[in-house]
Amino acid sequence: MSQFDTLFDRKAGNARKWADSVLAKKFGLTPNAIPMDLADLDFPVAPPIHDAVMARAAVSDYSYTYIPDAFNETVIAWNARRFGLELEADWLKLSYGTVPTLHYIVQAFTAVGESVLINTPAYDPFAEAVEHNQRQLITSPLKLENDRYVFDFEDMADKMARPDVKVFILCSPQNPSGRVWTAEELEQVGDLCLQHHVLLVSDEIHRDIVYPGVHFTSIWQACPAIRDRLAQQFAANSITSPNSFAIPALIAAYTKCDAWLDEMVAYVADNFAYLRDRLAEIPEMQVMPAESGFLAWIDVRRLFADEAELKRFFTACDLSCVVGSYFVADGEGFVRLNIGMPRPLLKEALDRILAIYATWHQQEAPVPK
Ligand SMILES: Cc1ncc(COP(=O)(O)O)c(C=O)c1O
């Protein structure tokens, strides 16, 4: 039995994903629902992080902090050890999250009215970072080839050639599909951005959860002029010192959790294989193969007439999900399910899907496509 098999009560920790009020209001579900929407993990935090935060809490001083040397040193060591990246402490900047940082980047490197390019389907906050700042969103749909997403380089080149397009935000690995881009693909993306003088921004938040046997390539490059401009934007947003608990948590995560993470990633990869196995019984639910992450991206175009029917299906299962239209564009007809949970819970969720599916066609008459 794996440590990740144990069910963990997330209602106790005010987890938004598990809040009865949210599940009822947003999805019409019961307190018995299994949430599969929001992208966080239903596992307890790695024990070394727990211990470090508890030890810090015992020191009754939660006042102003500073960035201790160990904070940056552990980030540098993690990047070297896990990804072969050579970073310097000077290049690291504190920020309060990836999505806020995308907002600061849009503010720093584009002017009001200029445009930002993204691929679709996309994590919705990519569009928000652009639109919250009165910039224009330009989208380049990913193409489906042999059941995998690939870049449409021709379309991207056309769009980058527009004089108003200043920034391209790449999602690597890709959310919602878990696609890990190859070094060759990334090189081509980099070449296009260089050729069209478009700033390349790579959101690599999912890079730590890449399945065994898959190689992740970072697109990271040093560029001092750009760093300074972004640092000014951080200053303009008053980013000063880390939260008291962030310091020990980060240091513990990046020094003591390699083994925990490797085990967790292998567990999630097995969850993905298990999901594909079980859903193979539903030919109209096509799970896109993933190479990373804990999100399954499923083509349900042949099963449901429209998104309203998809929602009715998952409500009948007492499961929450993210419907395809959430992903800016080109996600219609798909559903995203979070499978980063103990396997007994995943089994229960899949049992519900298969049980409701067994009678669905008797209840609903889908429009043939
Ligand atoms: C691609 C991507 N970027 C950013 C985030 C969230 O980042 P943060 O919580 O650091 O703002 C997510 C969360 O799912 C994500 O999928």
Is 364 part of any domain? Answer: no
The total of structural domains in the chain comes to 2
Asked if residue 187 is part of any domain, the answer here is yes
pLDDT value for 245: 96
Distance 364 CA to ligand 1 centre (A): 36
- For the residues of 72-95, what is the DSSP string, one character each? HHHHHHHHHHHH-----GGG----
Distance (Å, whole) CA 137 – CA 238: 27
Residues 267 and 191 in one domain: no
* Residues 199 and 267 grouped into a single domain: no
The answer to whether residues 223 and 101 belong to one domain is yes
Supply the DSSP string of 281-337, one letter for each residue: T-TT-EEPP-SBSSEEEEE-TTT-SSHHHHHHHHHHHTEE-EEGGGSSSS-TTEEEE
Helix 183-195 to helix 153-160 angle (10° resolution) is: 20
pLDDT at 177: 97
Residue 129 in domain:
yes
Q: Are residues 232 and 146 in the same domain?
A: yes
- Give the distance between the most distant pair of CA atoms in the chain: 64
The reply to whether 180 falls in a domain is yes
CA distance 264 to 269: 9
> The domain spanning residue 125 has which CATH number?
3.40.640.10
Check if 76 has its Cβ closer than 6 Å to any atom of ligand 1: no
Measuring CA to CA, how many Å separate 116 from each of 68, 161, 217?
Answer: 35, 12, 23
Residue 176, preceding peptide bond in cis (omega within 30° of 0): yes
Residues 228 and 286 in one domain: no
Cα–Cα dist 197/179, whole Å:
26
Residue 64, in any domain of the structure: no
pTM of the predicted model as reported, rounded to 2 decimal places? 0.92
11 and 147 belong to one structural domain: no
Query: What CATH number is associated with residue 291?
Result: 3.90.1150.10
Say whether both 116 and 10 belong to one domain: no
> Does the beta carbon of 177 sit less than 6 angstroms from any atom of ligand 1?
no
Answer whether 116 contacts ligand 1 (Cβ < 6 A): no
Question: Looking at the structure, do residues 280 and 332 belong to the same domain, yes or no?
Answer: yes
Indicate whether 126 and 262 sit together in one domain.
no
Q: Is 38 among the domain residues?
A: yes
Question: Is the CB–ligand 1 distance for residue 96 below 6 Å?
Answer: no
DSSP 101-149: HHHHHHHHH--TT-EEEEEES--HHHHHHHHTTTPEEEEEEPEEETTEE
Domain boundary among 206, 239, 272: 239
Decide: helix, strand or coil at residue 169. Answer: strand
Q: What is the pLDDT along the chain (369 residues), one digit of tens a residue?
A: 999 999 999 999 999 999 999 999 999 999 999 999 999 999 999 999 999 999 999 999 999 999 999 999 999 999 999 999 999 999 899 998 999 999 999 999 999 999 999 999 999 999 999 999 999 999 999 999 999 999 999 999 999 999 999 999 999 999 999 999 999 999 899 989 989 999 999 999 999 999 999 999 998 754 668 778 888 898 898 888 999 999 999 999 999 999 999 999 999 999 999 999 999 999 999 999 999 999 999 999 999 999 999 999 999 999 999 999 999 999 999 999 999 999 999 999 999 999 999 999 886 555 555
Residues 270, 338, single domain; the answer is yes
Q: For ligand 1, is residue 294 a contact (CB within 6 Å)? A: no
CA distance 366 to 369: 9
Which of 37, 98, 294, 322 best tests ligand 1's pocket when mutated (most atoms within 8 Å of CB)?
98
On whether residue 159 sits in a domain, the answer given is: yes
- 286 Cβ inside 6 Å of ligand 1: no
343 CA → ligand 1 middle, Å: 24
Decide: 171 in ligand 1 pocket, CB within 6 A: yes
Q: Is residue 87 part of a domain?
A: no
Q: Structural domain of residue 200, as residue ranges? A: 95-239
The answer on 324 and 297 residing in a single domain is yes
Q: Are residues 235 and 329 in the same domain?
A: no
